[in-house]
Amino acid sequence: MDLNYSSEELAFRDEVRAWLTANLPADLRDKMASYEHLSKEDLVRWHRILAKQGWVAPSWPKEWGGTGWNVVQRYLFEEELGYAGSPPLIPFGLTMCAAVLLRFGTEAQKKRFLPRIYQGDDFWCQGYSEPGSGSDLASLKTKALKSGDHYVVTGQKIWTTLAHYADWIFCLVRTDPGSEKRQDGISFLLMDMKAPGITVRPLILMDGAHEVNEVFFDDVKVPAENLVHEEGKGWTVAKYLLGHERMNTGRIGESKRQLAALKEFSASRRNDERFRDRLSRLEIELTALEITNLRFLDRMRRSGQPPGADVSMLKIRGTEIQQGLTELMMDAADPAANDDFSSSVRKKYLSTRKTTIYAGSNEIQRNIIAKMTLGL
């Protein structure tokens, strides 16, 4: 096992870092540094800057616009984005739906959707969680009944991130309610958010942000050609997609940037031994997480296979470290201060509470590791 970067990989990292320094707009960098709200226009603008450079979809095949980078280069690129403080590349289209289309989609579906995802012409969201069907995703109840050349969809999704920005949503729906196994009879549909019968209602989080939503489907007609893979085999697609989602939740580069900011912000607490101890422990945990991520990369580099169930380790530790960093920021901030920075730190703290829940709660991730890796 080789956990060291080669000289070529280090040169690549330096090239990416220099480009980001020169091309990341200052106003977007400042918004990220102060934890300000990012509009749809902010997100799409950064997406299109990277698309113009040819770097917006590194993992895609070259014929569809990919860079041809190996798995280590792609990892380095993602971490440099986080370390530079760039706006996030929203994963629902670029990482998740695209991965599904490339693996399971028809040629017609690829030609229709992939170029528009690449250029940022279509903004996507994910329709998985439902009231009562979050971590237990196989219990979903949204129905899609076949009627001629289309499906009629009825039901509800919840906690749908950025649905109020989205042009399209990919959904898990139940096409065969009579299946004996809950995982059977589920299908994967692509739905136009402008279709009649779709209603988006905001859910305001405790940090005051409008990030997630409820989405209602009232007899929504979806062309049958928007079915991805086979009818009733959507669970296979969902499992494939979730592996890609969880590989990207560690956010090591972003956590390194937050750690550096925390050290600078808390310099006045150098004599607080308890605080220094907690900060040091968190830095060690972040280093250990980075080494664990490198182990996954080395395995993927040698095998050419996607991550397995044990990738859940990255999601668990990565999100817990993110929360730990914001907890220390709160401790370092003046609780009575009303300045912009202290206010933004409080918002960041509240926003980070959700990281251990999305993409499958950390409790569920531990169950996955126990079942799939330890055989319990």
Structure tokens at 37: 């709200």
CA distance 144 to 141: 10
With a CB cutoff of 8 Å and minimum separation 6, the contacts of 305 are none
**Close Cβ partners of 297 (under 8 Å, ≥ 6 residues apart):** 71, 72, 75
Secondary structure (H, E, C), 4-66: CCCHHHHHHHHHHHHHHHHHCCHHHHHHHHCCCCCCHHHHHHHHHHHHHHCCCCCCCCHHHCC
Helix or strand or coil: residue 153? Answer: strand
Report residue 55 as tokens.
Answer: 């770097």
Catalytic residue among 245, 283, 290, 327: 245
Q: How many CB atoms lie within 10 A of CB 215?
A: 25
Copy the structure tokens of residue 15: 């090239």
HSE-CB for 243 with a 13 A CA cutoff:
15
Task: Please state whether beta strands 168-174 and 124-127 pair in parallel, antiparallel, or not at all (unpaired).
Answer: parallel
CA distance 6 to 285: 24
Residues with Cβ within 8 Å of residue 199, at least 6 apart in sequence? 215, 216, 218
**How many angstroms separate the CA atoms of 313 and 368, rounded?**
10
Q: Residue 245 catalytic?
A: yes
Q: Which of the 8 DSSP states describes residue 356?
A: G
Cβ–Cβ under 8 Å, residues 342 and 334? yes
DSSP letter for 103, please.
Answer: H
Catalytic positions are 245
